[in-house]
A and B are shown apart, each in its own frame.
Chain A
Amino acid sequence: MKILIIGYGSPIRGDDALGPLVADRLENTGVPAGVEVMSRHILTAELVADIAEQDRVIFLDAAVDAEPGEVRCQRLAPDAHALSTMAHFLDPRELLAWCETLYGRVPESFLVSAGGDSFDYSNYCLTPIGEMAMEKMLDWVDRLMCGETSKLALS
């Protein structure tokens, strides 16, 4: 099984670095064969080609609509209406819709996100609440890599 993990967010805006930092931790500690890990500032168009080749994709992001430290795991479906006005950065559901339209397939996809406590300037540095959320996000990633996905609802 091919699994792609994409952590995204700004590394210089506090807990917005959660996605890239979780991805970096996974990269440093090692992942099973068949799993690829990426860090990205934002989700951009060329990722569609990588995503289309996967069996499962796990997006990692910080959330502004969750309580600080609250970790969620949601199943994602393609959504062509999740359009960005600027098109330089994309919603993961929009990327999946691109996959569906252009390549005729969509991998099983999940978003693991955590509510950030602060989005002030910093440099690859989380708040204490962000640090705790990071561990929970890593737990979710482990479970998703192992295939514990059947009970997750669509976002």
Chain B
Amino acid sequence: MSRTIAIEPVTRIEGHARITLQLGDDGAVEDARFHLTQFRGFEKFCEGRPYREMPALTARTCGICPVSHLLASNKACDHLLSVRIPPTGEHLRRIMNLAQLTQSHALSFFHLSSPDLLLGWDADPATRNIFGVMRQDPALARDGIRLRQIGQSIIETLGGKKIHPTWVVPGGVNEPLTLEKRDAMLKLLPEGLEIAKRTYDFFKTLVPKFKDEATHFGSLPTMFLSLVTPQGNFEHYDGLLRIKDAKGRIVEDMVPPEDYERVIGEAVEDFSYMKFPYYKPQGYPKGIYRVGPLARLNNAQACGTPYADVALAEFHMLQEESGPIASSFHYHYARLVEIIHALEMMERLLKDPTILDHRVRARARSNRDEGIGVSEAPRGTLIHHYRIDDDGLITWVNLIIATGHNNLAMNQSIRQVADAYVDGNNLQEGMLNRVEAVIRCFDPCLSCASHAFGQMPLRIELKDAAGRVVDTLSRS
């Protein structure tokens, strides 16, 4: 008798989603799906708006990562203007993106995932939360708060304390950096780097304990997509697209962002409002790939900063087999490497005297009908693509959100975890927490595709084929 388990909502992620596990007569998992259950439609309601409104409009896609949309949108607008922004303007934008990456990764690691990592997947759900972490390791929890505060403080120093800053504009940024602000940001970075290094060293000691999870948490033979520099190194703001396959062979390299449609297609399924991007030459769903910290580190030859490069070398030793690191569990590790790199790179950029240059913005009117902006959001490659008419009004929009790229991989990861841990004849909370935890590895931001409003209790139901509830677990 087949049965379905529904996990709704998935907790400790950004936004609302549901997971369903279809069980066969023997209690084994037959199918697993990750459903994005809400719809927003930004691409449609932006039509008719002036293109200069797009950074402000799309930044409202999400209260968690407005900076990422602000940057990708302004890059699309730069393309419409056909300008090359002044180097100092670009460097200031880079600092903001690195600060966003720092605070976002800090939240994911310290507050969303640490309850599982420190307390265990089978710990009592009543204590497997941030308060449990605070009791077990208050210094780690304080470090997480401080690291996030440092990232947020740099974003506010650059963009102002408004909820939706308008500092980044088409053509650059609208105000040069003052000496006082530069020094205030520089003062924060040594402490941030110490915290990041300390956390990284601590997590390295934990990783060997998670061999089983590393084997079953989305360890998939997928491709990896990210931006890289022209030299093939780590890139987060500009650069060119690279795709590596599961064996580490480069299948696409130095692809200009404007050519993304040649390599990326988007499929839809009837069980989710999130699209399913895929590598076009291999078709759907064979063209599965992953983005985000794991992909960026798998694709980069080097980070380009001292401590991060040491950590990158250690990252590549996480598995015995050669080739890219396959397990999605190692997204956690990759995030810590990226935090180290972000803090090192912000310091380097801020110490460069040209960061105080007054030329920070190129001014022009629209000189093209189509603009494409690509940057790396904390969760992966973010693509904004606009078309405008002669009056500069938007006629068409396509947004490929970082979390969306990972949709196929998240679905396959759920299936892999469920196969390994879920016994439909003896449902345990810890089994289902592992199913949720594999999603947390990707740190999905579902508000980028749906409005999060209110909260629901977690309820898991086991139903028979007739729809009768045969077992339940609940979490308030």
Give A residues with C-beta under 8 Å from B. 10-12, 20, 38-42, 44-46, 48-50, 80, 83-89, 97-98, 101-103
Given contacts A86-B11, A87-B12, are A45 and B452 in contact (CB under 8 A)? no
Q: Please report B residues at the A interface, Cβ cutoff 8 Å.
A: 9, 11-15, 60, 63-64, 103, 107, 111-112, 129-131, 134-135, 138, 141-142, 144-146, 148-149, 152, 161-164, 452, 455-458
Give Cα A24 to B111, complex, Å: 30
Q: Which residues in A have their C-beta under 8 angstroms from that of B455?
A: 84-86
Bound CA span A55–B154, Å:
25
Q: Are B63 and A102 in contact (CB under 8 A)?
A: no
Q: Which residues of B contact A87 (CB under 8 A)?
A: 11-12, 107, 111-112, 130
Q: Sorted from nearest, which 10 A-B pairs have the closest CB atoms?
A: A46-B149, A46-B148, A41-B63, A101-B134, A85-B11, A41-B163, A88-B14, A49-B149, A85-B455, A49-B145
Q: How far is the CA of A84 from the CA of B455 in the complex (A)?
A: 8
A39 to B339, CA, bound (A): 26
> 20 A-B contacts, Cβ less than 8 Å apart?
A10-B63, A11-B164, A38-B161, A39-B163, A45-B145, A45-B148, A46-B145, A46-B148, A46-B152, A49-B145, A49-B146, A80-B131, A83-B129, A83-B130, A86-B13, A87-B107, A88-B64, A97-B131, A102-B138, A102-B142
Nearest CB on B from A92, distance (A): 15
Instruction: Judge whether B63 and A48 touch: CB under 8 Å.
Output: no
Question: Measured between alpha carbons, how far is A49 from B147 in the docked complex, in Å?
Answer: 11
Q: What secondary structure prevails in chain A residues at the interface with B?
A: loop
In the complex, A126→B135 CA distance in Å?
Answer: 42
CB distance from B199 to the nearest CB of A (A): 15
Give bound CA distance, A81 to B141, whole Å: 18
CB within 8 Å for A85 and B456 given contacts A38-B161, A101-B134, A101-B135: yes
Q: A10-B63, A45-B145, A88-B14 are in contact. List 14 more A-B contacts (CB 8 A).
A: A39-B162, A41-B63, A46-B145, A46-B149, A49-B146, A84-B455, A85-B11, A86-B13, A86-B14, A86-B15, A87-B12, A98-B130, A98-B145, A102-B141
Cβ of B163 and Cβ of A20 under 8 Å apart?
A: yes
| Residues A12 and B60 in contact in the complex (CB < 8 Å), given A45-B144, A86-B12 | yes
Distance between Cα atoms of A102 and B141 in the complex (Å):
8
| Interface pair A86/B452, CB less than 8 Å apart | yes
Q: Which of A10, A44, A97, A103 has the most CB of B within 10 A?
A: A44
Residues of B contacting A85 in the complex (Cβ-Cβ under 8 angstroms): 9, 11-12, 455-458
Q: Using Cβ atoms and an 8 Å threshold, which residues of chain A touch B13? A: 86
For residue A78, give the distance in angstroms from its CB to the closest CB of chain B.
11
Shortest distance from the beta carbon of A96 to any chain B beta carbon, whole Å: 12
A41: chain B residues within 8 A (beta carbon): 63, 163
Q: Give CA–CA (A102, B138) in the complex, Å.
A: 6
